[in-house]
C-alpha cells in the first residue's frame, strides 16, 4: 500500500467518525424522529436490557475513538503496520454505527438488527487482525501509544457491541411478539447471559484482555441492577465467571507466551 492510499485511509476514518458523532448528537439534541433513545427503550423492553446508567460507557468508547482517530491521522502513523492491517474497517464500523442510529430512531427494527450484526462482525475482524490479547511478534513490537490508542479503543468497542447485539435482538423479537417457544422471557434472558458468558469466557481464557472483560462486567452489572432476581443473579454469576476467565487468560499469557520482546503489554493488549 503506497503513501497516497494511506492518506486516503486516514481521511476516510476522520470523515466517517465525524459523521457518526454528528448523528449521535442529532439523536440526542433533536431528537431524531422526535423519539429519544430512552423513549425507544421503553417501547422495546426486554429482560436483557441493562440499566440506563450502564450506557454511560459510550462516553468512554467515544473518547477512546476520538483518540484513535487523531492518532491514526498523524503523519507519523501513516505507515503504521497495525493501522494498515485493519485498513478501512474502523470507518466501516463507525458508518454502521451511524446508520444503526437512523434505523433505530425511525423504527426500522429488523434493519437495526442486521446493521448491528454487521457492526459486530466488523469489530470481530478488527479484533482478530490486531491479535488483541496475544503477545506481539518479535519483529513488530507494539508501542504504548499503539496499545492505548488503537488496541484499547477497539477492545472496548467490540466488548460493548457484544452485549448491544444481544440486547438489540432481544428487544426486537420481543417487540415482534415472538413467544419464545413457550419459554418465559426471563428464562430466555438467563440463557442469553449464559451464551454471552460462554463466548466471552472462551475469548478471555485464550486472550489476555482486561479492557474487554471490564466492559462486559460493567454491562452485566447494569443488567443485574435493572432486571428481576433470577436474571440479576445470572448476570452477577456471569460477571464473576468472566472476571475469573480474564484472570486465567492473563496467567496463561505470562506462563505460555512471556518473552523478553513481548513485554509491552498493557490493559488493552
The domain limits of the chain are: 3-262
What is the pLDDT averaged over residues 243-252?
Answer: 93
Q: Is the pLDDT of residue 264 over 60?
A: no
* Angle between helix 229-256 and helix 185-206 axes, rounded to 10 deg: 10
Do 57 and 211 touch, CB atoms closer than 8 A?
no
Neighbours of 112 (CB within 10 A): 23
Residues contacting 163, CB < 8 A, separation 6+: 50, 196, 215, 216, 219
What is the pLDDT averaged over residues 215-230?
Answer: 97
Q: How confident is the model at residue 266 (pLDDT cuts 50, 70, 90)?
A: very low
Segment 145-176, tens digit of pLDDT: 999 999 999 999 999 999 999 999 999 999 99
Q: Return the closest-CA partner of residue 68 out of 128, 152, 161, 159.
A: 152
Across 33-42, 57-66, 202-211, 242-251, the highest mean pLDDT is recorded for 57-66
Output Rg (C-alpha) for the chain, integer angstroms: 19
CA atoms within 13 A on the CB side of 252: 16
Residue with cell 481464557: 205
Segment 49-98, tens digit of pLDDT: 999 999 999 999 999 999 999 999 999 999 999 999 999 999 999 999 99
Reported pTM: 0.93
Amino acid at each position: 500500500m503506497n503513501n497516497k492510499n494511506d492518506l486516503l485511509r486516514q481521511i476516510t476514518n476522520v470523515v466517517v467518525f465525524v459523521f457518526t458523532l454528528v448523528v449521535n448528537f442529532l439523536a440526542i439534541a433533536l431528537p431524531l424522529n422526535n423519539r429519544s433513545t430512552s423513549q425507544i427503550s421503553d417501547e422495546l423492553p426486554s429482560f436483557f436490557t441493562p440499566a440506563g446508567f450502564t450506557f454511560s460507557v459510550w462516553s468512554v468508547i467515544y473518547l477512546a475513538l476520538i483518540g484513535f482517530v487523531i492518532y491514526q491521522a498523524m503523519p507519523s502513523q501513516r505507515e503504521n503496520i497495525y493501522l494498515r492491517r485493519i485498513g478501512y474497517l474502523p470507518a466501516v464500523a463507525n458508518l454502521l454505527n451511524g446508520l444503526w442510529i437512523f434505523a433505530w430512531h425511525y423504527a426500522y427494527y429488523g434493519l437495526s438488527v442486521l446493521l448491528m450484526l454487521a457492526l459486530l462482525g466488523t469489530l470481530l475482524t478488527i479484533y482478530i487482525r490486531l491479535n488483541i490479547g496475544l503477545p506481539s511478534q518479535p519483529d513488530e513490537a507494539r508501542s504504548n501509544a499503539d496499545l492505548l490508542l488503537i488496541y484499547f479503543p477497539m477492545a472496548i468497542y467490540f466488548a460493548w457491541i457484544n452485549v448491544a447485539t444481544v440486547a438489540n435482538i432481544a428487544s426486537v423479537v420481543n417487540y415482534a411478539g415472538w413467544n419464545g417457544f413457550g419459554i418465559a422471557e426471563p428464562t430466555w434472558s438467563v440463557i442469553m447471559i449464559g451464551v454471552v458468558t460462554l463466548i466471552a469466557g472462551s475469548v478471555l481464557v485464550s486472550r489476555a484482555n482486561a479492557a474487554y472483560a471490564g466492559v462486559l462486567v460493567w454491562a452485566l452489572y447494569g443488567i443485574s441492577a435493572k432486571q428481576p432476581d433470577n436474571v440479576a443473579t445470572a448476570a452477577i454469576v456471569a460477571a464473576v465467571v468472566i472476571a475469573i476467565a480474564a484472570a486465567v487468560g492473563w496467567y496463561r499469557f505470562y506462563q505460555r507466551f512471556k518473552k523478553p520482546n513481548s513485554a509491552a503489554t498493557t490493559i488493552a493488549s
